[in-house]
Amino acid sequence: MSDKNKGLNRARQIYSNRSQRARELKAAGKKIIGYPCAYVPLEMLTALDLVAYQTCGDMKEPITEADRALPHSFCPVMRNCLDCALKNKNDFLDGMVTIHSCDPQEKTARVWESYTNYPYFHFIDMPISVRPEALEYFKSQLDDFRKTLEGFTGKKLSTDKINAAIKAHNRQRALVRELYELTKPSPPRISGTELVQVIKALTSLPVAEGNDLLTETLAEVRNRTEGPAKKSARLLIWSSTLDDADVMDVFEAKANVVMNESCGGIRAYRADVKSSADPLEGLANYYLNEITCARTFRQATLGETRKDYARDLRSRFGYLKGIITEWKINGAIMLLVRYCDPFAFEMPSLKDYFNTLGTPNTYIEYDYTTGALAPLRTRVEAFLETIS
């Protein structure tokens, strides 16, 4: 029998009460820094002994306060995040770090900073392309971030400290990948819902505690005799974010979600920060190049003067081919959070790519509210019928 305070049980507890541990750490004298997006380099916070806490939305929370600051036709996830902040649900935060990963992040950051009063608030600008000059600029933005962090904490961000933090976060990435290895068998050893809970728990904990949680979870999952049941389909979900267990439950009612390619899943963990003489260079390269969010403009060859659509698709979505093969995916769902422009523009092209691979696929949109779950269930069931 599993320990109720370890592994999956602990992940579930943290998922259900995300801020509890942050509040405990705050009471113990730690400083807690919020961040809304996977592009914020957490290593820099960890290196200064700051606790990084992802400020997520809450689908069950009706949006009331954010209405005065953001229009309705706007990313519902960010509206929800801001709403929670304006309702003081994050009152334990000592600061916020925001980033120009997409328009809604940038626009919300301005409003967030205007309507709240944290002791520390920093906005990191981020280029759209992976060109060398863009990388250099992004690195300089991280260096500016370093300066304000040092000013806030009164501590120096040394190379040793940041390298140690990179090592700890890379360890976390490797452990998450190990966990996803356990979805390869049929039936998978761990469900998509459990993975959502684990990943969300990680975004609520200091990296060392997260790594302990992952180590416990891996041992538990490897040794358990009762795992998820085998369902009719093995699904890949591609989305901006799928970080809510209720949403994942809808998919897993009749299928196994073996890959959650979103910011609530493997996306921020699929690669490592490479070691380099200048750690900020390694971080800049990882965050700009390696995270496969649709916000980044990618092309087959930098500055190409000829274009070939098939090559273009491979440069943008090629990483999915290996996933489909290795995880034996037989259905892909492109899940769009309404008003997410970077992902919305990708839909027809990604469909083309899935079609070239012969992977059955569908596009489903929802608005990040509990009211969307019933229609979502209908759409998922209809898709599963077509591929069964």
Partner 1 sequence: MVVQKEKKTINRLKSMYPLRAKVNETYLKSVEAIQAGKPAVWGMLNFYYGDPILKAMDIEVVYPENYGAIAAAMGVAQQYLDRADAEGFPTHLCGYSLTTLGYASRMMKELKGQIPPEAPLGGMPRPLFLMSSAAICDARYKWFQALGRYMDVPVWPLEAPLPGIKEFLIEGCYDRMVKLGVKNLRDFVTFVEGMVGRNMDWDRLDKTANLMIEVNRVWHEVNELRKARPCPMHSRDFWSAMPAALFLAGDLEDSLRLYQDMYKEVKDRVDNHVAAIPNEKYRLVFAELPPWHSLAFFDKLAERGWNFVIESVGYHPPIPIDLSKVSDPLERITKFSLQFLVGYYEEARKQNVLGGTTAYPYLKYAKEWKCDGALLHPLISCRSASTHLPYVSDMLTEKLKVPSLSIEGDIVDLRLFNPEEALAKAEPFEETMDHYKKMRKQAGFDW
Please report, as ranges, the residues that interact with partner 1 according to CB under 8 A: 67-71, 73-74, 100, 102-104, 106-107, 109-111, 113-114, 121-125, 127-129, 131-134, 136-137, 140-141, 144, 147-148, 294-295, 297, 299, 303-309, 312, 336, 338-339, 341-342, 344-349, 351-352, 363, 365
Question: Rounded to the nearest whole angstrom, what is the least distance from the CB of residue 284 to partner 1 in the complex?
Answer: 13
Burial of 279 (0-12, 13-18, 19+ CB in 10 A): buried
Residue 27 makes CB contacts below 8 A (sequence gap 6+) with: none
Residue 121 makes CB contacts below 8 A (sequence gap 6+) with: 95, 96, 97, 98, 112, 113
Question: Rounded to the nearest whole angstrom, what is the least distance from the CB of residue 261 to partner 1 in the complex?
Answer: 18
Rounded CA separation 150/57 (Å):
29
Number of Cβ within a 10 Å radius of residue 91: 11
Number of Cβ within a 10 Å radius of residue 83: 22
With contact defined as beta carbons under 8 Å apart, do 162 and 207 qualify?
Answer: no
Burial of 383 (0-12, 13-18, 19+ CB in 10 A): buried
Our CB check for partner 1 shows the closer of 272 and 367 to be 367
Question: Rounded to the nearest whole angstrom, what is the least distance from the CB of residue 133 to partner 1 in the complex?
Answer: 4
With contact defined as beta carbons under 8 Å apart, do 220 and 235 qualify?
Answer: no
Question: Rounded to the nearest whole angstrom, what is the least distance from the CB of residue 19 to partner 1 in the complex?
Answer: 26
Question: Rounded to the nearest whole angstrom, what is the least distance from the CB of residue 141 to partner 1 in the complex?
Answer: 7
Question: Rounded to the nearest whole angstrom, what is the least distance from the CB of residue 77 to partner 1 in the complex?
Answer: 14
With contact defined as beta carbons under 8 Å apart, do 80 and 66 qualify?
Answer: yes
The alpha-carbon radius of gyration of the chain (Å, integer) is: 20
